[in-house]
Amino acid sequence: MLLLLLPVGALLVGGAAGNLATAARDPAVAPAVWLTLRTSFTALALIVVSGTPLAWWLATSRGRLPQVVGALVDLPVVVPPAVLGVGLLLALGPQAPLGTVLASAGLTLPFTEPAVVVAQVVVAAPFYIQAAASAFRRVDPDLLIVAHTLGASPPEAFLRVALPLAAPGLVAGASLAWARAVGEFGATLLFAGNLPGVTQTLPLAVLSAMEGRLEVALALSLVLLGLGFVALLGVRAVPGRGAP
């Protein structure tokens, strides 16, 4: 516990708060903040839109396939983000078949803002999908049968019963995924680079500031710490049951 609190305490007592004003005047900070917010919320939207149906399928399907898919979805949690970044470069880089197809359509992903979003989606999606699947598994299957017998089609029963009942779990998972996207570093660095104003998110700005602008690095670290803390408070504030 002490070890967990050590870096947090060091940032708080190390004068990081006093450097916030200095950091605010640093020309690299504002673009990094806006880029981080823009990309993390875009990534979150993509994760929720594509991850919710997948989580529902994982929660309600039986057999080996959902188990295998579930393990694949979780893989980014245990694989170092830098490895995922290398994988993304290999899959979507200019030399890769998929990258060539995208390039012929006039799209180049690596070292662009969309690459930041892709890296954040890959790294953060498992946190949402796991939480959402777990929330869907807790919905009493009898309630869905009842909804059907009252005339609700499967999509209607999902929207009117499963989704609202699982909503607290979905919100908690979305908070965690967003926090993970904000803090994403390794995959972004390798797949999107560290280009100020283009792909430099807050964690990458901390890395750059460590070379000669320590007070800015400290202040940005404090901002990231605060964002993470707010996201976790959000998770804990979610009630145990959905509202109507």
Partner 1 sequence: MSWSATIDTVIGSLRVQAELSGDHAPVGLVGPNGSGKTTLARALVGAQRLQSGRIVVAGQVLADPVSGVHLPPHLRGIGYLPQGSGLFPHLDVLDNVGFGLPGSRAARRVRAHDALQARGLGGLAGRTVDGLSGGERQQVALVRALVAEPKLLVLDEPLAAMDARARQRVRRDLAESLAGAAVPALVITHDLRDLEALDAHVHVLEAGRVVQSGSTADLVRAPATAFVAELVQAPGGPR
Q: How far is the CB of 129 from partner 1 (least distance, A)?
A: 22
Does 240 interact with partner 1 (rule: CB under 8 A)? no
Does 12 interact with partner 1 (rule: CB under 8 A)? no
**Residues in 138-167 at the binding interface with partner 1, rule: CB under 8 A:** 142-143, 145-154, 156-157, 160-161, 164-165
Q: How far is the CB of 138 from partner 1 (least distance, A)?
A: 12
Helices (H), the chain: 2-13, 20-25, 29-60, 64-78, 81-92, 97-104, 113-137, 141-149, 154-157, 163-183, 186-191, 202-209, 214-237
Tell me whether residue 90 or residue 143 sits nearer to partner 1 (CB atom): 143
Tell me whether residue 45 or residue 143 sits nearer to partner 1 (CB atom): 143
Are 111 and 199 in contact by the 8 Å Cβ rule? The answer is yes
Separation of alpha carbons 137 and 42, rounded Å:
27
Sign of CA dihedral 230, 234, 235, 237: positive
Tell me whether residue 41 or residue 57 sits nearer to partner 1 (CB atom): 57
From 44-52, 62-70, 71-79, 235-243, give the range in contact with partner 1 by CB under 8 A: 235-243
Q: How far is the CB of 145 from partner 1 (least distance, A)?
A: 5
Separation of alpha carbons 140 and 136, rounded Å:
9
Tell me whether residue 72 or residue 145 sits nearer to partner 1 (CB atom): 145
Separation of alpha carbons 106 and 65, rounded Å:
36
Q: How far is the CB of 161 from partner 1 (least distance, A)?
A: 6
- The closest of 111, 147, 124 to 47, measured between CA atoms, is 124
Are 193 and 185 in contact by the 8 Å Cβ rule? The answer is no
Helices (H), 14-112: 20-25, 29-60, 64-78, 81-92, 97-104
Q: How far is the CB of 51 from partner 1 (least distance, A)?
A: 22
Q: How far is the CB of 171 from partner 1 (least distance, A)?
A: 14
Does 241 interact with partner 1 (rule: CB under 8 A)? yes
Tell me whether residue 92 or residue 166 sits nearer to partner 1 (CB atom): 166
Residues that bind partner 1 (CB under 8 A): 142-143, 145-154, 156-157, 160-161, 164-165, 241-244
